[in-house]
Amino acid sequence: MEWVVLLLGRGVAAIGTSDNSVGFLGEVIYMPTTLSRLARAGAHVSTLALSIAFGLFAAQPGHAEEVTLTVALAANPQMQTAAKLIDNFYTKHPDIKVKFQTLPENQLRPTVLKDVATNSGQFDIVMIGAYEVPLWAEKGWITNLSQEYVVNDKEWNADDLIKPIRDLVSFNGDMYATPFYGSSSFIFYRKDLFEKAGLTMPEQPTWDQIAEFAAKLDDDSTNTAGICLRGIPGWGQSLAPLTTVINTFGGRWFDENWEPQLSAPKTKEAINFYVNLLKEHGQPDAAKDGWQECLQLFTQGKAAMWYDDTVFAGPVLDQASPEVKDNVGFALAPIKEKPGSGWLWAWGLAIPKTSKHQDAAWELISWLTSEEYIKLAGEKAGWGTVPPGSRKSTYMLPEYQKATSTYAELTLKAISDADPLKPTVDPVPYTGVQYVTIPEFEQIGDFTSQQLAGAISGQMSADEAIAASEEKIREIMTDAGYIK
Amino acid sequence: MALSLSLQSGKRASPVRNALVKGWWDRLPLLPALVVVLCVTQLPFIITLYYSLQRWNLVSTSAPRFVWFRNFLNAFNDAVFLKAVFNTAVMTGSIVIASVFFGGLLAAGLNREFRGRTLARTLAITPFFIMPVAAALFWKTGIFDPTFGILGWITDAVGIGRFNWISQYPRLTIILLTTWQWSAFALLILLAGMQSFPTEVAEAAAVDGASRFYTFRRLMLPHLRPFIELTALLTAMYVLENFAAIAILTNGGPAYATTNLSYYVYLEAFSAFDLGRASAFGMIALAFAIALTVPMLRVVSGIFKEGGRA
């Protein structure tokens, strides 16, 4: 509890230092900074130290020829490679220095949000997910890259970007972030187990086929689950695969009037299907498993199929035990009614409006998302770890094709088939494939996924989970003013 | 300058005023530290109180506005909040009782002379020094997991099949894991307590023909009482804000079965980004924590007095 208090306190101090503090808040806030300065200085006791301390605070660097960019990044392998290759950027731009702040994904979001929402201007570049880009663009927190830079920077070649990914980091047709990598979802399966059971996986399976395969491959004697699916609560965990199932079953989260649709027949059918498939032929104790656990189960040969992000194809081949490694097959995301049912995600690099070094920041993010950088990362760090799914040209590189021959083509197809602007069969007032692009969705998704986990663990029925979630969603949406 | 002036004028002033100035002059070296402490503890508290009276959602399009105590009233209409209060009470209570019990058993065992005692003692207190996140990850995959875990393997070998521990008994798994860590802490304090039990008393009791159980019940236990109280207090204070075990094992689920107050505050602040509500929940959680610990502190404070309680 204390830490929340502290964190909030820090947030306030941050507002205080910005010039955009509001009225009364501003006054309250100005005090702590002055007091803490006094306090820090007071610790030196003598007045001499005090005056020196004030002198130091007053002495701001008056002329800065060299620009230092502070970048907030998610701690994933692709970004770590980028941090390692930064020397190549320095040789081109000797006047720019880069300070990386690497954070775990789930900490990156609150840290960056707090910074941007309170205008504290700590970061010059932030790495944000596809869900945030349009929301933050709408609030005016991040710079419109299309108008400011992309039109003038022919070398960066925006036309080379894969279209759905480009749409994903855009708002009203303008790009607000450069896509660092993009991904979709597909099926991982064990070719050897399929062969043994006399089954063949089509390139485009249906969910009915997947359920049938899972029933046949579920083997208690070897502790092998038919399929591994995420079950742990979290809007970015179990709700991502579930929402793609809802979409392809013809269901949706909301109708055109923002009326929640979880209990509509098709959505209900999809949720029941997901829960039952997981309960009957999924991995045991599924309500605790996220992608981390599924990755482990699949690579250790304890699951015959796995439906998850295309970006895990590299890690699976990398980490799999020897008997699994040579038998990993890939297939497109299963469908029911709607084709192209894979999800769509991208990590983008955006420039907060509060950054004082916008031009230098563009130099860095355009370099990090350029064709040149992708080639460099492939040569220096290995072709399997190149940031995938952002540029068409990546998939033309012979070295990349060779290193990722088993899944590159399917990844590209999955990404190209997904449509974040029209994710469902029936019309919806929102965008986003495996999420709903409204600020309230994190809260809605977390609540629903908690109830879903309750259904998966057998504490309640799927229908009870749906009813409880829908009631809460209606409450949140009414409170936020969507439902009049 | 101002200070030296006041000091000079203080010399001619009344003795009372003189004493006052002298008192503050003596306290002067302490003031910077005091100001720092106030800034880092009390100021955020007041600011959180201010936030808790606002409707302020970081991601919402409407600007923050003052709503008085609505966040607090809403808390008690929120089924999940009430569930979190219940979970906190159940989990904290059982972890404290179980930790004191198992810690006491371990301490009693280690309080005897035997070969390899030092090694056993080191091993017994190790769980407390493992980082909570690492411990939780290990328990999740290494023990509870029906496929990879030891428990699954044991129950399968015995012939009763593999259990879905975390899905079926989510609260129990959190209690087990946290108890495992905190009984090592209880062991540490209780063992010190047992070792401070005077040997003459034990010998005299033995000479008088007291049975071992009688000695334990009538002599050792009263002697240990302040130690047990202290253990319970400290464990309760830390376990109230149990976070790592919940975040790693269950994410607070399934269906909020393992969400405690601090995890719910986290969800409100960093998933809903509703700073107003999160601050209000934090305030309520703080009130609960104070209500629990202040009476306990009063009980325990006896042991800090010279000579303790007779």
d(CA A239, CA B195): 54
Q: Which helix (H) or strand (E) holds B66?
A: strand B65-66
Nearest to A275 by CA among A462, A145, A57, A441: A462
d(CA A177, CA A174): 9
Residue A314 pLDDT > 80: yes
- Specify the amino acid at residue B145: D
**Cα dihedral B92, B94, B110, B228 sign:** positive
d(CA A358, CA A218): 54
CATH of domain A185-343+425-479: 3.40.190.10
Residue A34 pLDDT > 60: no
- Mean pLDDT for B72-96 is 92
Contact by Cβ (8 Å): B293, B238:
no
Question: Which of B87, B167, B292 should one mutate to test binding to chain A, selecting the residue with the greatest count of A CBs within 10 A?
Answer: B167
Residue A431 pLDDT > 80: yes
What's the pLDDT score for residue A183? 92
pLDDT category of residue B305 using cuts at 50, 70 and 90: low
Residue B304 pLDDT > 80: no
B227: closest CA of chain A, how far (Å): 26
The answer to whether the Cβ–Cβ distance between A42 and B145 falls below 8 Å is no
Residue A11 pLDDT > 60: no
- Mean pLDDT for B91-111 is 94
Nearest to B51 by CA among B277, B305, B285: B277
CA neighbours within 13 Å on the CB side: how many for A313?
27
- Mean pLDDT for A222-238 is 91
Residue bearing the bigger pLDDT, B83 or A52: B83
The answer to whether the Cβ–Cβ distance between B60 and A135 falls below 8 Å is no
Q: Which helix (H) or strand (E) holds B150?
A: helix B150-158
A372: closest CA of chain B, how far (Å): 36
- Mean pLDDT for A307-327 is 89
* Domain layout of chain B by residue ranges: 70-304
The residue with tokens 């088939």 is A417
pLDDT category of residue A77 using cuts at 50, 70 and 90: confident
B114: closest CA of chain A, how far (Å): 42
What's the pLDDT score for residue A56? 42
Instruction: Give contacts of B142 with chain A, Cβ < 8 Å.
Output: none
| DSSP letter string, B94-116 | HHHHHHHHHHHHHHHHHTS--TT
In angstroms, the Cα distances linking A429 to A165, A344, A482, B59, B306 are 20, 18, 11, 19, 71
Per-residue pLDDT of B31-47, as tens digits, reads 899 899 999 988 999 99
What's the pLDDT score for residue A63? 45
pLDDT category of residue B303 using cuts at 50, 70 and 90: low
What's the pLDDT score for residue B245? 92
- Mean pLDDT for A370-398 is 89
- Mean pLDDT for A364-377 is 92
d(CA B54, CA B73): 13
Size of interface A-B (CB pairs under 8 A): 176
A197: closest CA of chain B, how far (Å): 22
Residue B309 pLDDT > 60: no
Mean pLDDT of chain A: 83
Instruction: Give contacts of A457 with chain B, Cβ < 8 Å.
Output: 164, 167-168, 170, 253-255
What's the pLDDT score for residue B18? 84
- Mean pLDDT for B150-169 is 87
User: Could you say which architecture CATH assigns to the domain B70-304?
Assistant: Orthogonal Bundle (1.10)
pLDDT category of residue A43 using cuts at 50, 70 and 90: very low
What's the pLDDT score for residue B120? 92
Which residues are B55's β-sheet partners? B65
The answer to whether the Cβ–Cβ distance between A283 and B147 falls below 8 Å is yes
A396: closest CA of chain B, how far (Å): 40
What's the pLDDT score for residue B213? 84
The answer to whether the Cβ–Cβ distance between A12 and B251 falls below 8 Å is no
Nearest residue in A to B285, CA atom: A1
Chain centroid to CA B296: how far? 12
Instruction: Give contacts of A114 with chain B, Cβ < 8 Å.
Output: 58
Residue A307 pLDDT > 90: yes
The answer to whether the Cβ–Cβ distance between B267 and A446 falls below 8 Å is yes
Per-residue pLDDT of A137-148, as tens digits, reads 988 899 999 988
What's the pLDDT score for residue A109? 83
Nearest residue in B to A451, CA atom: B255
Cβ under 8 Å to B: A residues 25-44: 28, 32, 35-36, 38-40, 42-43
d(CA A56, CA A306): 58
Mean pLDDT of chain B: 86
Residue bearing the bigger pLDDT, B206 or A72: A72
- Mean pLDDT for A193-201 is 93
Contact status of A6 with chain B (Cβ, < 8 Å): yes
Instruction: Give contacts of A469 with chain B, Cβ < 8 Å.
Output: none
**Global ipTM:** 0.78
Per-residue pLDDT of A231-277, as tens digits, reads 999 888 899 999 999 999 999 999 999 999 999 999 999 999 999 99
Per-residue pLDDT of B242-265, as tens digits, reads 999 999 998 887 889 999 999 999
The answer to whether the Cβ–Cβ distance between A1 and B282 falls below 8 Å is yes
Choose the weakest-confidence range: A64-73, A202-211, A346-355, A468-477: A64-73
pLDDT category of residue A15 using cuts at 50, 70 and 90: very low
* Domain layout of chain A by residue ranges: 18-54, 67-183+344-405, 185-343+425-479
Task: Return the percentage of chain B with pLDDT > 90, whole number.
Answer: 41
SS (H, E, C) chain A: CHHHHHHHHHHHHHHHHCCCCCHHHHHHHHHHHHHHHHHHHHCCCCHHHHHHHHHHHHCCCCCCCCEEEEEEEECCHHHHHHHHCHHHHHHHCCCEEEEEEEECHHHHHHHHHHHHHCCCCCCCEEEEECCHHHHHHHHCCECCHHHHHHCCCHHHCHHHECHHHHHHCEECCEECCEEEEEECEEEEEEHHHHHHCCCCCCCCCEHHHHHHHHHHHCEHHHCEECEECCCCCCCCCCHHHHHHHHHHCCCCCECCCCCECCCCHHHHHHHHHHHHHHHHHECCCHHHCCHHHHHHHHHCCCECEEEEEHHHHHHHHHHCCHHHHCCEEEEECCECCCCCCCCCEEEEEECECCCCCHHHHHHHHHHHCCHHHHHHHHHHHCHHHCCCCCEHHHHHCHHHHHHCCCCHHHHHHHHHHCCCCCCCCCCCCCCCCCCCCCCCHHHHHHHHHHHHHHHHCCCCCHHHHHHHHHHHHHHHHHHCCCCC
What's the pLDDT score for residue A90? 92
Instruction: Give contacts of B170 with chain A, Cβ < 8 Å.
Output: 457
d(CA B52, CA A4): 12
**Cα dihedral A221, A226, A232, A233 sign:** negative
What's the pLDDT score for residue A22? 32
Maximum distance among all alpha carbons in chain A?
85
The residue with tokens 């663009």 is A137
- Mean pLDDT for B232-248 is 90
CATH of domain A67-183+344-405: 3.40.190.10
The residue with tokens 């979409």 is A247
pLDDT category of residue A30 using cuts at 50, 70 and 90: very low
Q: Which helix (H) or strand (E) holds B156?
A: helix B150-158
Cβ under 8 Å to B: A residues 218-247: 223, 225, 232-235, 237
**Cα dihedral A134, A137, A143, A147 sign:** positive
- Mean pLDDT for A5-23 is 33
Chain centroid to CA B278: how far? 20
CA neighbours within 13 Å on the CB side: how many for B128?
18
Contact status of A114 with chain B (Cβ, < 8 Å): yes
Residue bearing the bigger pLDDT, B283 or A105: B283
What's the pLDDT score for residue A308? 94
What's the pLDDT score for residue A110? 84
B135: closest CA of chain A, how far (Å): 16
Choose the weakest-confidence range: A41-55, A95-109, A227-241: A41-55
Residue B189 pLDDT > 60: yes
